[in-house]
Amino acid sequence: MNWYANRNSNDTQGLIIDSDTGENIAVSYKVEHASLIAAAPEAIDLLKETLNTLDNMTIEEFALARDSFIRRKIEDFLYKFDLFA
């Protein structure tokens, strides 16, 4: 599943489209919110990957990896969608 955001014809709303099927997934009332909604499938994948990684770590491994793995993954995601506050 791969979604992307596009401006609706009226320029104030955002359209979220499935790039695999061309199906319209959602409309956001504010165009600036469309990229956040379009990022949902990737956000879910990131959370699943993070939880899976955490489940398979010892406490010692977690302590060593948390700053380098989790922070990097989340920051990469936030920067990609210009969501870094």
Percent of the chain with pLDDT over 70: 94
Euclidean distance between CA atoms 26 and 38, whole angstroms: 9
For residue 85, pLDDT over 60 is answered with no
Euclidean distance between CA atoms 46 and 80, whole angstroms: 13
Tens digit of pLDDT for each residue in 35-65?
A: 999 999 999 998 998 888 888 888 888 777 7
Euclidean distance between CA atoms 32 and 41, whole angstroms: 18
- Are the CB atoms for 13 and 28 separated by under 8 Å? yes
With bands split at pLDDT 50, 70 and 90, how would you rate the model's confidence at 1?
A: confident
For residue 26, pLDDT over 80 is answered with yes
Euclidean distance between CA atoms 12 and 61, whole angstroms: 47
Q: What is the average pLDDT score of the chain?
A: 85
| 26 strand-pairing partners | 16
**Single-letter amino acid, residue 14:** G
**Single-letter amino acid, residue 70:** I
Domain residue spans of the chain: 1-38, 39-85
